[in-house]
């Protein structure tokens, strides 16, 4: 078994950088670089050197199997966060025999292999690590705690109940058994189907919570969209200039609105243009604005624009600083900015209350195929006992899809899929 190492903190200049080493050679490597190691389960400052050449002086932590994140022998080197120091330490580590840079997700994989975490925790962990806002953290934590598995278990139990009713009429045809099980089976199917369908629509919201809601700012060229975005971001994110048509690409600013992850998109001004490059930008802007979760129309008159606002979209007059009626919003003076943010937040806070337990396309695909199978089963059950064998097969498919959702079968694919969403060193 190889010993692996990686930088556990972000790859950049920082106050502290943590390098983690895990595997059978971790302790001996540590001793060769630091002289002696602190007692297992404790930490101490040690010189970190390469062939007698002092690289840095760092805090060293020693863990022994199985009491570590990976369940293996582990050392952690807390170094000064300089790029030169990190490079030198990583180089030194890779020179040891049987020691190599970790593959993406390999630490977590080892933690799983050694029984330190289970599959659900692993999946939730990926989201937890990526969580930037409070809502995201809460949602990921829910998965780690197994809320999804519980609901799916309950559905599965009801479907198994429905399947057993059908099977009774098949396998005990010659005996005194209830003949008309259709009403009970249909009722069970209905109940699971409606809840699962509901979860599918909620999962789109959850996915937004996980990846962020998008707000597109649209308007005529030079309506002040970029200035507004800059004001929102508090820094110069989009290039703004006096000349109309400056923003040719889509520019994003990611924000945390009281725990909700929201990305504002500054789009090219929408107008007829002869400039080919600008025309492409405009087409892209329209397409992007359409897929966004919400649009803020910075416009006096929306009929000037090649895009219609949807029910929850916000229409606000631009350049409030040049107006006298006290309405509108201005990126220059900040007038109306707070009200706009509150409005956006209100829209998403309302939507977020409809979030569900699933937030990944993988989950949705499984749910969708379960629902499709349940629909077919339900249709067949109503056709009568002659096709109960087919109905039972559809039910089996539905149950299998749910099992796939919580990872009961096809472990191998699942593992690979889950681990592919991890990045190095975590």
Partner 1 sequence: MKHFDVLVIGGGHAGAEAAHAAARMGARTALVTMTLSGIGVMSCNPAIGGLGKGHLVREIDAMDGVMGKVADKAGIQFRLLNRRKGPAVQGPRAQADRAIYQREMLAATQAQDNLTIVEGEVVDLKMSGQKVTGVELADGTLLHSTTVVLTTGTFLRGIIHIGEEKHSGGRMGDKASVKLAERIDSFGLPLGRLKTGTPPRLDTRTINWSVLEEQQGDDEPAFFSFETTKLAAKQVACGITHTNERTHEIISKNLARSAMYGGHIDGTGPRYCPSIEDKVVRFADKTSHQVFLEPESLTGHTVYPNGISTSLPVDVQEDYIHSIVGLETAKILQPGYAIEYDYIDPRALDASLQLRATTHLFLAGQINGTTGYEEAAAQGLVAGINAACLAQGREPVQFSRANSYIGVMIDDLTTRGVTEPYRMFTSRAEFRLSLRADNADQRLTPTAMDLGMVSVQRRALFDSKRDALEVGYQALSREAYTPKHISRAGIAVKEDGTRRTPYQLLAFPDVQFKDVVRVQPDLSAIDRPIQIQLARDALYANYIDRQQKDIDRIKKDEAHVIPTGFTYAGISGLSNELSAKLESARPDNLAQAARVEGMTPAALALLLAKLRQHQKKSA
Query: Could you give the CA distance from residue 265 to residue 298 in angstroms, rounded to a whole number?
Result: 13
Q: Which of 51, 176, 242, 325 binds partner 1 (CB under 8 A)?
A: 176
> Is residue 12 a contact residue for partner 1 (CB under 8 A)?
no
Query: Could you give the CA distance from residue 48 to residue 105 in angstroms, rounded to a whole number?
Result: 26
Token output for 16: 């502290």
Task: Quickly count: other Cβ atoms within 10 Å of residue 350's Cβ.
Answer: 10
DSSP designation for 262: E
Burial of 62 (0-12, 13-18, 19+ CB in 10 A): buried
> Is residue 30 a contact residue for partner 1 (CB under 8 A)?
no
Q: Which of 12, 174, 242, 272 binds partner 1 (CB under 8 A)?
A: 174
Token output for 144: 């780690």
Binding site annotation covers 266? yes
Minimum distance between the CB of residue 5 and partner 1, rounded to whole angstroms?
Answer: 19
CB-wise, 175 or 242, nearer to partner 1?
175
Binding site annotation covers 267? yes
Minimum distance between the CB of residue 376 and partner 1, rounded to whole angstroms?
Answer: 10
> Is residue 385 a contact residue for partner 1 (CB under 8 A)?
yes
Binding site annotation covers 76? yes
Token output for 388: 């109960």
Query: Could you give the CA distance from residue 203 to residue 125 in angstroms, rounded to a whole number?
Result: 18
DSSP designation for 96: S
- Radius of gyration from C-alpha coordinates of the chain: 29
* CB of 208 closer than 8 Å to CB of 293: yes
Q: How many residues bind partner 1 (CB under 8 A)?
A: 42
CB-wise, 194 or 413, nearer to partner 1?
413
CB-wise, 166 or 251, nearer to partner 1?
166
Length of the chain: 426
Considering only 6-14, 83-91, 301-309, 392-400, which stretch makes contact with partner 1 by CB under 8 A?
392-400
> Is residue 389 a contact residue for partner 1 (CB under 8 A)?
yes
Task: Quickly count: other Cβ atoms within 10 Å of residue 316's Cβ.
Answer: 20
> Is residue 421 a contact residue for partner 1 (CB under 8 A)?
no
Interacting residues of 422 by C-beta distance below 8 A, sequence separation 6+: 104, 105, 108, 126
CB-wise, 300 or 376, nearer to partner 1?
376
Binding site annotation covers 245? yes
DSSP code string of 338-358: HHHHHHHHHHHHHHHTT--S-
Pattern 398-417, partner 1, x by CB under 8 A: --x--x--xxxxxxx-xx--
Binding site annotation covers 224? yes
Query: Could you give the CA distance from residue 307 to residue 309 in angstroms, rounded to a whole number?
Result: 7
Binding site annotation covers 326? no
CB-wise, 149 or 226, nearer to partner 1?
149
Q: Which of 87, 171, 258, 275 binds partner 1 (CB under 8 A)?
A: 171
Binding site annotation covers 327? no
Query: Could you give the CA distance from residue 386 to residue 248 in angstroms, rounded to a whole number?
Result: 63
Binding site annotation covers 226? yes
Considering only 127-135, 208-216, 280-288, 380-388, which stretch makes contact with partner 1 by CB under 8 A?
380-388
Within 13 Å of residue 323, how many CA atoms lie on the same side as its CB? 16
Task: Report how far Cα 255 is from the mean position of its chain's Cα atoms.
Answer: 16
Q: Give CA separation, 244 vs 94, 144, 221, 283, in Å.
A: 54, 49, 5, 16
> Is residue 173 a contact residue for partner 1 (CB under 8 A)?
yes
Strand boundaries in 176-237, DSSP class E: 213-219
Query: Could you give the CA distance from residue 263 to residue 344 in angstroms, rounded to a whole number?
Result: 11
Considering only 125-133, 219-227, 297-305, 385-393, which stretch makes contact with partner 1 by CB under 8 A?
385-393
Q: Which of 100, 345, 396, 426 binds partner 1 (CB under 8 A)?
A: 396
> Is residue 179 a contact residue for partner 1 (CB under 8 A)?
no
- Positions 61 through 90 that interact with partner 1 (CB under 8 A): 66, 71
- Positions 90 through 149 that interact with partner 1 (CB under 8 A): 109, 112-116, 118-120
Query: Could you give the CA distance from residue 126 to residue 121 in angstroms, rounded to a whole number?
Result: 9
Minimum distance between the CB of residue 281 and partner 1, rounded to whole angstroms?
Answer: 42
Annotated binding-site residue numbers for (6S)-5-formyl-5,6,7,8-tetrahydrofolate: 20, 76, 116, 426
- Residues lying near partner 1 in the complex (CB under 8 A) are found at 1, 66, 71, 109, 112-116, 118-120, 167, 170-176, 383, 385-390, 392-393, 396-397, 400, 403, 406-412, 414-415
Which residues participate in the annotated binding site for GTP? 222-227, 241-247, 266-269
Binding-site residue positions = 20, 76, 116, 222-227, 241-247, 266-269, 426
């Amino acid at each position: 078994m190889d010993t692996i190492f990686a930088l556990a903190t972000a790859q950049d200049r920082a106050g502290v950088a943590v390098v983690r080493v895990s595997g059978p050679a971790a302790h001996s490597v540590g001793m060769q670089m630091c002289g002696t190691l602190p007692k297992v389960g404790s930490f101490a400052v040690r010189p970190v050197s390469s062939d007698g050449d002092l690289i840095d002086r760092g805090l060293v932590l020693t863990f022994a199997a199985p009491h570590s994140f990976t369940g293996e022998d582990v050392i952690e080197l807390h170094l000064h966060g300089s790029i030169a120091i990190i490079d030198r330490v990583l180089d030194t580590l890779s020179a040891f025999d049987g020691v190599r840079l970790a593959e993406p997700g390999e630490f977590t994989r080892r933690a799983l292999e050694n029984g330190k975490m289970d599959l659900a925790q692993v999946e939730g962990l990926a989201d937890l690590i990526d969580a930037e806002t409070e809502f995201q953290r809460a949602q990921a934590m829910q998965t780690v705690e197994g809320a999804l598995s519980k609901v799916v278990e309950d559905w599965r139990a009801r479907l198994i109940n429905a399947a057993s009713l059908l099977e009774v009429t098949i396998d005990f045809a010659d005996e005194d058994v209830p003949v008309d099980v259709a009403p009970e089976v249909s009722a069970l199917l209905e109940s699971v189907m409606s809840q699962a369908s509901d979860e599918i629509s909620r999962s789109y919201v959850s996915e937004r919570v996980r990846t962020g809601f998008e707000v597109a700012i649209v308007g005529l060229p030079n309506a002040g969209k970029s200035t507004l975005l800059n004001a929102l971001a508090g820094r110069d994110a989009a290039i703004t200039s006096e000349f109309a048509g400056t923003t040719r690409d889509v520019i994003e600013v990611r924000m945390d609105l009281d725990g909700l992850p929201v990305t504002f998109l500054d789009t090219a001004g929408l107008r007829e243009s002869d400039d080919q490059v600008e025309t492409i930008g405009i087409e892209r802007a329209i397409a992007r604005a359409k897929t966004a979760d919400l649009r803020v129309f910075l416009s006096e008159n929306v009929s000037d624009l090649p895009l219609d606002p949807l029910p929850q979209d916000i229409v606000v007059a631009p350049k409030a600083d040049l107006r006298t009626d006290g309405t509108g919003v201005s990126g220059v003076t900040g007038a109306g900015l707070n009200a706009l943010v509150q409005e956006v937040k209100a829209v998403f806070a309302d939507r977020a209350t409809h979030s569900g337990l699933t937030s990944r396309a993988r989950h949705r695909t499984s749910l969708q195929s379960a629902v499709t199978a349940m629909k077919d089963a339900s249709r067949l059950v109503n056709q009568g006992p002659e096709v109960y064998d087919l109905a039972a097969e559809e039910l089996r498919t539905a149950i299998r899809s749910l099992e796939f959702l919580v990872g009961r079968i096809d472990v191998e694919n699942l593992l690979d899929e889950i681990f592919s969403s991890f990045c190095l060193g975590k």
